[in-house]
Amino acid sequence: MDQTVLVTGGASGIGLAVAERVLNEGGRVAIVDREPESIARTRNHLDHAGDRVRFDTLDVTNEAEIERVVKAIDAAFGPLTGLVNSAGIAQDVPFFETTAAQFRKIYDVNVVGTFLVSKAAAIAMRGRRHGAIVNISSVSGLRGNLGRAAYGSSKGAVVTLTQVMAVELAPLGIRVNAVAPGPVETPMVAALHTSATREGWIGEVPMKRYSTPDEIAGTICHLLDDTRSSYVTGQIIAVDGGFTAGGLIGG
């Protein structure tokens, strides 16, 4: 895989699984995350990758820092070919208990952050007339899940943003798709899901389990690869164990 891929939120969970897959397939990865401690831990974990991986701390809402990082990637690795917008935050808060501050913070990271990083990456890609962007939505952006007024609607916004980007960037040779995971065994989910939450999800997912980050990463890497998905753009792919297909699944 002759790719240079920027992964936001790449120090854990789905982002880290994507980075590992790209490296295992011979590509180059730029991992960015907002937590220096997470970056340091991931640097040690991926020490074997040598000069095919680089790391930066990044707040995805900081436009100037995003531009700096994208330019640094170009200088170190050459032209950017892929972007995975995995950085995101979540909360499980009932509608009446959700504050305006919580709502704004989630939108700032999940929607504005996705937009800003995508814009900088697309500017870098458009001169090559080639590239792929994969955004991370959620099944909570496709269904009205309890406690997801802010998080779910932000991920719904990512769906529409993905479709608009796909239409506008297609003439430049840049494909844009989104993956909408169901419940995934990530650190963020571990911190958010109670035992009752887990029981609820498993009761509604036909496959009766959470996914692994690598299962989500497999679909993401498929969408990054022009040899496997060259005519796929503007799609929202649910990787959810059948959750969005389910109706009455109990007996």
**CATH code for the domain of 192:** 3.40.50.720
Q: Burial of 103 by CB count in 10 Å (0-12 exposed, 13-18 middle, 19+ buried)?
A: middle
Whether pLDDT at 99 is above 70:
yes
pLDDT of residue 171: 96
Q: For the chain, give me the number of helices (H) and strands (E)? A: 10, 7
Q: Is residue 203 part of a domain?
A: yes
Measured CA distances, 122 to 36, 132, 218, 222 (Å)? 26, 9, 23, 19
Mean pLDDT, rounded, of the chain: 95
The arithmetic mean of pLDDT across residues 153-161, rounded, is: 98
The mean per-residue pLDDT over the stretch 50-57 comes to 96
Give the integer Cα–Cα distance in Å for 49 and 135.
25
Evaluate whether 210 touches 201 at the Cβ level (below 8 Å): yes
Q: What is residue 251's predicted lDDT score, i.e. its pLDDT?
A: 55
Mean predicted confidence (pLDDT) in 130-150: 95
Which residue's structure tokens are 């990271």? Answer: 109
Quick one: average pLDDT of 131-149? Answer: 95
Mean pLDDT for 1-20 is 95
Give the catalytic positions in this structure.
151
* In a domain? residue 157: yes
Q: How many independent structural domains does the chain possess?
A: 1
pLDDT over 90 (residue 35): yes
With cut-offs at 50, 70 and 90, classify the pLDDT of residue 212: very high
- What's the Cα-to-Cα distance from 159 to each of 115, 185, 228, rounded to whole Å? 12, 22, 22
Which pLDDT band, with edges at 50, 70 and 90, does 1 fall under?
low
Token pair, residue 73, equals: 């990637």
With H, G, I as helix, E, B as strand and everything else as coil, classify residue 83: strand
**Res. 177: pLDDT tops 90:** yes
**Exposed, middle or buried, 133 (CB in 10 Å: 0-12/13-18/19+)?**
buried
Q: Give the residue numbers spanning the domain of 9.
A: 4-242
Cα gap 174→224, rounded to integer Å: 10
Mean pLDDT of 28-53: 96
Pick the closest to residue 183 from 145, 144, 211, 216 (CA basis): 211
pLDDT for res 247? 76
Q: Of 149, 167, 153, 154, whose CA–CA distance to 85 is shortest? A: 154
Q: Residue 247 falls within a domain, yes or no?
A: no
Does residue 221 sit within a domain? Answer: yes
Whether 251 maps to a domain, the answer reads no
| The pLDDT of residue 236 is above 70 | yes
Domain presence at residue 249: no
CA separation for the pair 60, 220 (Å, rounded): 20
